[in-house]
Amino acid sequence: MNVREWALPVYTILMQVAVGSMLGLWLIRTVAIQQYGRFVTDRIIRIPILAVLLTVTAAIIGSHFHLSHPVFSLLATLNLRSSWLSREVLFTISFFTTIGSLSYLHWFTAGYPHLKTGLGWLAIALGLLSVYSMSKIYLLPTHSSWNSPLTVISFILTAVILGATAVAVLLLMDLKVWEEVAEQTETAVREQLIRQSFVWLAGGALVTAVINLILNLILILHLSQGDLSAQISFSLLLGLYQPLFGLRYIALFTGVGWFSLTALILFRNAKTQHEIITPIYLSCLLVLISEILGRFLFYATHVRTGI
Amino acid sequence: MITIYFFYGLAFFSLGLAASLQLRHDGDLPLRKQIPWLAAFGIAYAISAWLDMFQTYGTDPELNQVINLLRMILQPISGLLLLIFGWGVLTKILPLPGWTHLIPGLLIVPVAFVIAYASTTFITPSPIEIPIDIWSRYLLYLPGSFMAGIGFLRQWHEQKKRGYSEVARLMLATGIAFLFEAFVVGLVVPAAPYGPASYYNYNRTVYDAFTGDQAVSDKPFGLVNWLDYDRVLETTGLPIQFWRMLSAIAVTALVVTGLDVFDALRKRQMQQLQNERDRAQQSAITAQTAARQTAENWTDALISISRRIAELNDVDDILLHIVDNGRNLLQSNFMGLALLNGALPDLELKCFANDNQIGIVNSPIKIKNPLILDTLLYSKSYCSSADDPAHSLEELCFFVEQSARAAAIVSLNLDDKPIGALWIARYEEGAYSETDLIWLECLADQVVIAIQHGLMTSQLQSFSIIEERGRIAREMHDGLAQVLGYLNLQIQTLETLLKRGKQDALRLELEQMRQAVQLAHADVRENILSLRTTLANEKGLISAIDEYLNEFGIQTQIDTHFENEVNGSLNLASLAEVQLVCILQEALTNVRKHAQANVVNVRIAQKQNGHQCEYLLMEVIDNGVGFVTNENGKRSFGLQTMHERALAVGGELSVRSNPGNGTRIMCRFPCLSEEKLRRRNQVLQS
């Protein structure tokens, strides 16, 4: 792989991070509004929403390195009827626009609560459609290692697991940035929100990681029993790329496990929110490395047959 | 090349050694806490460089494998040590601004991509030591040196702000040295078929990183293609190891010098702090001394005022003394005292003191200042502030042209009723403190006491006069009136005897009348003498007694002798002196009236106990008829009075007499202790 090829993992992973973060963030917001009120909750998620916007922006910029003629990238939207790529581009741009609008509303207005809620769910829907379109691109009959519903499911699962860990990091960043200037009561709400939500985020990440492993084992089984190209992919995965395959799952379960343990310790008040920043950041880093390696393996092990 | 490798390793070893030696010095600088990591890095990296030297020299293949393994272990370890040092320098020496908390979170994504990418390069056909070397440099040495460089540059900025230009320059040089090290140690890597170096060296890539096939591209993708060892050698003519050695020498020299400079700076700051503490202590001592002096001045002033009150000085003099002292002690230009003449607002200036004069005001001057009148109306204290309008402080100072710029006023209250006001004023700005106000209130209390005492003294004087009149009336009734009544009866008797022609009886009656008149005359003269005898301070007790005895001798024709055995002061309390004179007068009256003596001796002596006077003895001895002393303790009225007078001042009195052998009266009065005597003398002298 070279720079042009690495642009694909950059784009797909960042989009999945953004969509997953938005999903996790909006679920937390929905619950938190009932408990702490709309005003405080919306103030708490301002920085995370901005971070999602920056992530989508980086993803879109990164995607252009994959193109021969970046300036003509919008032409890719002309084939909506037949091309999943066109749909992916459309949904990505829509997701970006919606997140941009949401960021504006959160940073520069105090009202429009229903509009914010609606735009948030719309953004999640558009993001998930973008990820779905992204995965559908790879369902090609000529690529037996990709051409499976498992690809779609694994793309969605990746978004969920990356979102869960990224939201944890974003909430801690928000706490750290505002703690010196925010009112004490608001900081207390932030800390309480982190303690309650991290257990659910970690639980979700752990379950998703297990499902992901099972799906990968099914895929390996499928490849081992498939046609020649599948066999070659199988041999590449467990041959040349075996260390990376092992490293990917070691990093995944170390990250998710560490995240779960830290969330549990926090929930039992054995440590403060400030004491768990480094473990959570490192957990997120490990999960992200794992998913990047997974995406690398996804691209590196494919073998094309036919035309 | 071997020589270069040797000195290359030696430079880093020197860095480690110098840093280790710095640890032996005392000090609690934040930078010193990071030095162990730098020392460990220097030594680990030096060993790694020397292992390179041995590999270049060529050794046994098996030994070469061991050396290679050691090098692969040491390289990431030394990189990790440098990373920890850099992180410490960046974050632990100076606190980071709040926004920097965002950086770790934002760096997670790029770092994850770099690590993921780096991990993919380990499965390429190239030897494993190459990716270890490359990624140790990119992921550990580069950020470690970069953070250290930024940390020192922050120090440069900080020291420049504090005005330590010398230290700031050193920090700038150290920061640049670390950034140079970040470049030569962290960014220049061996050429390899993968990035980032591979991106810069596509034209030298000979095979695909993952498949091992021939190079798929020779395009550098617009990036520069010189950051590998060969390109550095080609461009500079010197191998990268030379530049790294240079960076190590620069870092070593600058960090060691920096620590010394920091130490010197810390010592200088400590010395400054010590000097400041000494100055503060000196100031505190000076302030304490001044406060003690002020307290002593105030105590002296209050004692002086109290003494004047106790000595029944003239009230006006006392009030003048108060305002004069108060003005000086409160460092004011004016002090005034006004008393109510009836009811508010009829307030008149009583006395004042300014910079040039003090005086009692005889012609009435009405006080119109609203602040004084308000203070009096509400019976409270007032202290002006800078916010007070200038016109409110007008008409506070009298007999001067200047106007007050600051003032403090207190009301004078007698039995919770306002009777006047006392105030101080300054011509310059500078508000009075709470302490000043408290002192002014103390003076106001003294003023009230002086006025109250004056009133009481007047009443007492009236009572004394009434009492004295009563006593004189009693004396006249008991003495002169009785005699005159007796003479009236005798005159009637004389008329009867004259009518009857009884010349002998008439002569006898006349003789009795003459004796009665003589007795009355003696009584009157003695009373006059007693009334005239006073204990004038300027004469002293001994002189008064001497004069009294002389006069007594002349009046009574009794031969009086006075023996004074006391040299100097009698050392008696004032009250005891009064009682002593009264006892002497009573004793001599008894001598005149009853003793029929023609000689009376009065002796005064002191009983010494070492250097201290124990008691004063006074004896009154006559050669009269004497009398029988009562053994049952019953005494005549005169003797009983004398006895009580002696007891009242802690003395005692005894009488020895036998019919025909005269009478001896002895009284003993305790002398004052040295301490009491000294204090009395001080009061008298002042």
pLDDT over 90 percentage in chain B = 18
Find which of A68, A173, A297 to mutate to test the B interface (most B CBs within 10 Å of its CB). Answer: A173
Taking the C-alpha atoms of residue B22 and residue B42, their distance in angstroms, rounded to an integer, is 13
Contact A293 B217 (CB under 8 A): no
Chain A residues touching B120 at Cβ < 8 A:
1, 244, 293, 296
- Is residue B679 very low, low, confident or very high in pLDDT (cuts 50, 70, 90)? low
Work out the average pLDDT over A37-46. Answer: 88
The answer on pLDDT for B623 being more than 80 is yes
R_g (Cα) of chain B, nearest Å: 56
Q: Is B221 on the interface with A (CB under 8 A)?
A: yes
Work out the average pLDDT over B537-547. Answer: 76
Q: Is A170 on the interface with B (CB under 8 A)?
A: yes
Strands B382-383 and B358-360: unpaired
Return the HEC string of B9-34: HHHHHHHHHHHHHHHCCCCCCHHHHH
End-to-end CA distance of chain B: 101
Q: Can you give the pLDDT at residue B223? A: 41
**Left (φ > 0), alpha (ψ -120 to 50) or beta: where does A112 sit?**
left
Q: Is A21 on the interface with B (CB under 8 A)?
A: no
Q: Tell me the pLDDT tens digit for each residue of B103-118.
A: 888 889 999 998 998 8
Which of A158-172, A274-288, B57-71, B521-535 is predicted with the least confidence, judged by mean pLDDT?
B521-535
Q: Tell me the pLDDT tens digit for each residue of A120-148.
A: 999 999 999 999 999 998 888 777 778 88
* Rounded-to-10 torsion of CA B452, B456, B458, B462: 160
Q: Which of A207-221, B339-353, B571-585, B610-624 has the highest mean pLDDT?
A: A207-221
- The residues with which B417 forms a beta bridge, in sequence order, are B414
- Is residue B195 very low, low, confident or very high in pLDDT (cuts 50, 70, 90)? low
Q: How large is the ipTM?
A: 0.92
Residue of chain A whose alpha carbon sits nearest to that of B121: A244
Chain A residues touching B111 at Cβ < 8 A:
285
Q: Tell me the pLDDT tens digit for each residue of B137-150.
A: 889 999 999 999 99
Which residue in B101, B199, B210 is closest to A3 by CB distance? Answer: B199
Which residue in B98, B105, B221 is closest to A169 by CB distance? Answer: B105
Contact A1 B98 (CB under 8 A): no
Which residue in A169, A244, A300 is closest to B108 by CB distance? Answer: A169
Q: Tell me the pLDDT tens digit for each residue of B249-259.
A: 888 888 778 77
Neighbours of B643 (CB within 10 A): 18
Q: Is A288 on the interface with B (CB under 8 A)?
A: yes
What's the token pair of residue B313?
Answer: 């000085």
Half-sphere exposure of residue B97: CA atoms within 13 angstroms, side-chain side: 2
Q: Tell me the pLDDT tens digit for each residue of B354-363.
A: 988 888 888 8
The answer on pLDDT for B402 being more than 50 is yes
- DSSP secondary structure letter of residue B214: B
Question: What type of residue is A209?
Answer: A
DSSP string, B527-593: HHHHHH----TTT-HHHHHHHHHHHHHHHH--EEEEEE---S-----HHHHHHHHHHHHHHHHHIII
Q: Is B667 helix (H, G, I), strand (E, B) or coil?
A: strand
Q: Is B463 on the interface with A (CB under 8 A)?
A: no
Task: From residue A303, give the alpha-carbon distance in Å to each of A236, B66, B103, B269.
Answer: 10, 40, 39, 71
Q: Is the Cβ–Cβ distance between B439 and B330 less than 8 Å?
A: yes
Q: Tell me the pLDDT tens digit for each residue of A219-268.
A: 889 888 888 888 888 888 888 889 999 999 999 999 999 999 999 999 98
Q: Can you give the pLDDT at residue B25? A: 65
Chain A residues touching B110 at Cβ < 8 A:
none
The answer on pLDDT for B202 being more than 60 is no
Residue of chain A whose alpha carbon sits nearest to that of B220: A3
Chain B residues touching A165 at Cβ < 8 A:
none
Q: Tell me the pLDDT tens digit for each residue of B478-513.
A: 777 888 888 888 888 888 888 888 888 888 888 888
Chain A residues touching B216 at Cβ < 8 A:
2
Q: Tell me the pLDDT tens digit for each residue of B318-356.
A: 899 999 989 998 889 999 999 988 776 788 898 999 988
The answer on pLDDT for B217 being more than 80 is no
Q: Tell whether omega for the bond before A149 is within 30 degrees of 0, i.e. cis.
A: no
Taking the C-alpha atoms of residue B70 and residue B75, their distance in angstroms, rounded to an integer, is 8
Taking the C-alpha atoms of residue B206 and residue B203, their distance in angstroms, rounded to an integer, is 8
- B-facing residues of A in 71-100 (CB < 8 A) are none
Which residue in A2, A181, A300 is closest to B217 by CB distance? Answer: A2
The answer on pLDDT for B29 being more than 70 is no
* Rounded-to-10 torsion of CA B470, B474, B480, B482: 150
Q: Can you give the pLDDT at residue A98? A: 96
What's the token pair of residue B209?
Answer: 């990183």
Domain locations along chain A = 1-137, 141-307
Taking the C-alpha atoms of residue A129 and residue A11, their distance in angstroms, rounded to an integer, is 15
The answer on pLDDT for B247 being more than 70 is yes
The answer on pLDDT for A4 being more than 60 is no
- The residues with which B383 forms a beta bridge, in sequence order, are B408
Chain A residues touching B210 at Cβ < 8 A:
1, 240, 300
In order of their start, the domains of chain B are: 2-190+228-276 (1.20.1070), 309-458 (3.30.450.40), 536-686 (3.30.565.10)
Q: Can you give the pLDDT at residue A307? A: 54
